[in-house]
Amino acid sequence: MRSEMTQMLRLQWQSSRWLLLVLAVICIGLPQASVRLALWVGGDDVLASGRLLAQLGSTSGLYPFLAAITGALVALTAWNWDHRTGHVYALSLPVSRTQYALLKLWAGAVVMLVPVLAIWAGAWIATAMTTLPSGLRAYPFAFGARFLLAALLVYATVFALASGTIRTTLIVTGVFCVLFIGGSIAVPWIESQFGVDLISPTQVLGEAFTSWPGPFRVFGGSWLLIDV
């Protein structure tokens, strides 16, 4: 099993190394850029007045977006070569489909550590080079851990979606779209026409996913590298 794991890791690296390099550059640069920008926009009194937090908050939305992009792209590259060859090579290997998928899942998660380590390093360098006002603290490790969690979540979701055929993926995505779009249009219309109070499936699903203990809760709240 060890040789298969090593080989799968090698394949994953080969299929996504340029993407990982680009992501790593962005991940290492973004925390530094956002801290520098906050210092620059805030002017001379930014450290004294504590306006640093407000300035950092204006760019904090980029981190969950970057985590989602990282997870999604790594998941797509995990299956890319298999899709291109019609999965024939994978299906001819003497491992079960579950085992193959788990090997791929593992390899993708491992290579995703590259951008995660980059964001952690970027956050650490950015905060280490800044003198923080009293009362504020830097959280580079927690920030990196949150990024990892968010990226892994999207990675696992997209990985599962992309593992099937294009038809399966379209069906699953289509069902979700119908549920969300249909729910958000049909429910208000029925409510206004018939004067009834319905439970919107869009709202229920949205809340289930994004509020605690929903899995996508990690994307909510503030993504501040520096906080009180």
Residue 96 CB, shortest distance to other proteins, in Å, is 5
Beta-carbon count within 10 A of 27 CB: 27
Please say whether the beta carbons of 131 and 47 come within 8 A.
yes
CA distance 173 to 170: 5
- Enter the tokens of residue 2: 């060890």
Please say whether the beta carbons of 55 and 38 come within 8 A.
yes
Residue 21 CB, shortest distance to other proteins, in Å, is 16
Q: Which is nearer to other proteins, 92 or 192 (CB)?
A: 92
CA distance 60 to 57: 5
CA distance 26 to 18: 13
Residue 175 CB, shortest distance to other proteins, in Å, is 22
Residue 118: is it exposed, middle or buried by C-beta count within 10 angstroms (0-12/13-18/19+)? buried
Residue 101 CB, shortest distance to other proteins, in Å, is 13
- Using CB under 8 A as the criterion, which residues of the chain lie in contact with other proteins when the complex forms? 3-4, 6-7, 10-11, 14-15, 81, 84-89, 91-96, 99
Residue 163 CB, shortest distance to other proteins, in Å, is 15
Report how far apart the first and last C-alpha atoms of the chain are (Å, whole number).
47
